[in-house]
Amino acid sequence: MCTTQATPSVVPPAATAGSPTLAKKYPVRIEGHRGAGHLAPENSLKAFFRAIELGIDGVEFDVWLTRDNVPVVVHGLPGGVVEFEGDINETISQIDSEALKNYTLKNGEKIPTLVEVLDACNGKVNLNIEIKELREEVIEKVLTLIEERSMFEQITFSSFNHQLRAKLTHAVTEMKIASKVTFGFLMELEEPNFPDYELTLAQEGDSINVDIRYLENHRDECLAQIRKAQEKQVKIKFWFPMEYMDEHMFYEELLGLSVDTIITNKPHSMIEYFANQSVCV
């Protein structure tokens, strides 16, 4: 059915995992990068509430561990260094979770725990959890929190560390988790080669998460690798860096490439684009 989409102005009703409310609403899935990263402070509870209010398919965010192994949601610089108010730079892994409550980010927000984000999003929006943390205990910590809330149908994982796919699979088996776990292989822009699906033990439902700058700067190679991946039934997601301002220039082309998901800083812009297209959903 062809309809003209309108931007929701209220929070959609809560839904159970796997319900139609969490199903794909547009020709591609729309995930908000770090929540709704250009509409509210990135990776903040405000950003996730704003994404839920818009009614998009999912949100993407970053997870690190504190010194006492509490998963928290923040982007950070390489190594988990975070810039706080007062020109204070600290490494997340060197701060206990209780002490972290005393720190305020430069955007005026506190760093939320993964528990806070899961509880805010439970039944309302799908979650793409990017694992930034290098310590392997992050896997068990995060899986346990998700299992306690029966949220696996809402969850996918992603990482630049492609070896995490095998470690996630092993942890799910060891913890006797019955739910399926999917994974997104994030690409390094400096070495823009799609991963070897056999070496990384990719599974059904996994995806290659491509930086839009790869398509922009290496178009022919990127398109060739997309076709190869899709032939192997591997999903394609494209993501826009936070500083990228001209997302709308790529919407039509990405639709033509039959990508599965667009991870956007401007979910409102994508919704407006579809509203103006009278798209079939």
Total-model pTM: 0.89
Q: Report the distance separating Cα 128 and Cα 156, nearest Å.
A: 5
What the block records as the tokens of 120 is: 């805010």
pLDDT at residue 199 in the model? 55
Which has the closest alpha carbon to 133: 183, 91, 179, 191?
A: 91
| E strand map for 52-134 | 58-65, 71-73, 81-84, 88-91, 126-131
81-136 pLDDT, tens digit per residue, is 999 999 999 999 999 999 999 999 999 999 999 999 999 999 999 999 999 999 99
**Can you tell me which residue has the tokens 């993964």?**
114
pLDDT at residue 228 in the model? 87
**What Cα–Cα distance (Å) separates residue 37 from each residue in 8, 27, 159, 246?**
18, 22, 19, 15
Q: Average of pLDDT values for 25-42?
A: 92
**Can you tell me which residue has the tokens 């979770």?**
97
Beta bridge partners of 211: 239
| Residue 70 and residue 142 in contact, taking contact as beta carbons nearer than 8 Å | no
State CA 163 to chain mean position distance: 18
236-261 pLDDT, tens digit per residue, is 999 999 988 889 999 999 999 999 99
Question: Which of 34-38, 55-59, 160-164 reaches the highest mean pLDDT?
Answer: 55-59
Q: Report the distance separating Cα 221 and Cα 149, nearest Å.
A: 42
Q: Which domains does the chain have, with CATH numbers?
A: 20-62+129-277 (3.20.20.190)
| Residue 100 and residue 112 in contact, taking contact as beta carbons nearer than 8 Å | no
Altogether, the residues listed in the chain come to a count of: 281
> Could you tell me the pLDDT band of residue 280, with boundaries at 50, 70 and 90?
very low
